[in-house]
Amino acid sequence: MAHDGLKVFGAHLPEEIVAEIRSWGDGHPLARIRRAVLGHTAERNFHDSLAEALVAIHLLRRGCTLRGEQVTPDGHGADFEVIAPQGAFYLHVKRHDTRRHARRLTISSRLRALERVQRPYVVSVRWHEHTGDAQMQRLVRSASGFLHTARVGDELVVHDDDGTEIGGVLVIAPWDGPHVTLAIGLPTGFIDESGRIGRLLRRAHRQFMPRADNVILIASAQSEDRDDFEAALLGTIVERWDAFPPRGKRIAHGRADDGFWSSDHFESSRGAAWVRIHAPFDRLEPHLYLREWPPAGDRLRQATESAFAMAHGDR
């Protein structure tokens, strides 16, 4: 009996998604993806190909025509050529696999006290597994005092009386609310996936079709991955002392020069997107980013907005 990846790994998929993928028979522009989804015997590889399939289904539903894998003159490949209602571009789909869903977290209610601190920051908090209530109280007390004066990028590590590390907090970014908002990561440490996402962006760039519009799409399963995607694409958030803060703010914030699109890096890349792929998989909501300089241009803007037609961001 032939291996069938959809039967082995795809029990969580809606029937209509499975049926659509199976319909891409020989001769169909997406037959390569169907063969990959069915043929993979490793779960990670299956989900890589499934991400391509789900993105393809989204684009088809948006009225796009897709041409399967397109080979560049130097032998690399774009996953699709997308002919959208308003134009065309080559799309490179990369899945970022964090596997964070495999861990279950027990979150102490004491951490919520940090959200009463009146500072407009997103704060990542971590702690070690099996942390007792007394240790958690110590973490919260120390972190609360620290956050009253901390700035973006500041980090506090809290230790027990015997020097054992309990956990810590890291000020990630500003936000519009009046109080701290928490980003809960794994107990074993802060999670920053921007480096890995940056490598995916660079890998996709090496596969660009020359003298054409190319768009990179990063797919992942966790909502917080969008922050790491933006850091990789646009640069990490830093305090800017060379800029005037917005009205009502005391500090200006901007992006460091470490992003894929920073300065004149990778000038041929003008459009990118991030999408969360998670159950029930029946509707994707891509977030589109178009470069301000070098400018994306009206042709690419119209093509990508008609193809993705969801939440939109600029750089």
**Token pair of 152, please?**
């973006």
Rounded to the nearest 5°, which phi and psi values hold at 201? -60, -45
Query: Tens of pLDDT along 196-207?
Result: 999 999 999 999
Q: How confident is the model over 268-292, as a mean pLDDT?
A: 93
Query: Tens of pLDDT along 209-227?
Result: 999 999 999 999 888 788 8
Q: How confident is the model over 29-41, as a mean pLDDT?
A: 96
* Better-scored residue on pLDDT, 199 or 102: 199
Of 37-41, 180-184, 278-282, least confident by mean pLDDT is 180-184
User: What is the pLDDT at residue 192?
Assistant: 56
| CA angle, residues 29, 30, 34, in degrees to nearest 5 | 145
- For residues 57 and 225, give the distance between their C-alpha atoms in angstroms, rounded to a whole number: 22
Say if residue 315's pLDDT is above 60.
Answer: no
Q: What is the pTM of this model?
A: 0.73
Burial class (CB in 10 A: 0-12, 13-18, 19+), 144: middle
Contact 216, 204 (CB under 8 A): yes
User: What is the pLDDT at residue 103?
Assistant: 43
Contact 57, 17 (CB under 8 A): yes
Query: Tens of pLDDT along 246-277?
Result: 555 554 456 778 899 998 899 999 999 999 99
Say if residue 186's pLDDT is above 60.
Answer: no
Q: How far is CA 145 from CA 156, 229, 282, 311, in A?
A: 10, 30, 45, 37
Question: 29-37 — which CB contacts under 8 Å span 24+ positions?
Answer: 29/66, 29/67, 29/68, 30/56, 30/66, 30/68, 31/68, 32/68, 32/69, 33/68, 37/5, 37/6, 37/10
Say if residue 190's pLDDT is above 80.
Answer: no
Query: Tens of pLDDT along 132-164?
Result: 888 989 999 999 999 999 998 899 999 998 988
Query: Tens of pLDDT along 52-98?
Result: 999 999 999 999 999 988 998 888 889 999 999 889 999 999 999 87
DSSP secondary structure code for residue 192 in this structure: -
**Token pair of 162, please?**
């015997």
**Partners of 273 in the beta sheet?**
217, 288
Order the strands of the 87-95 sheet from edge to edge. 65-67, 80-84, 87-95, 214-220, 271-276, 287-290, 312-314
Rounded to the nearest 5°, which phi and psi values hold at 156? -125, 135
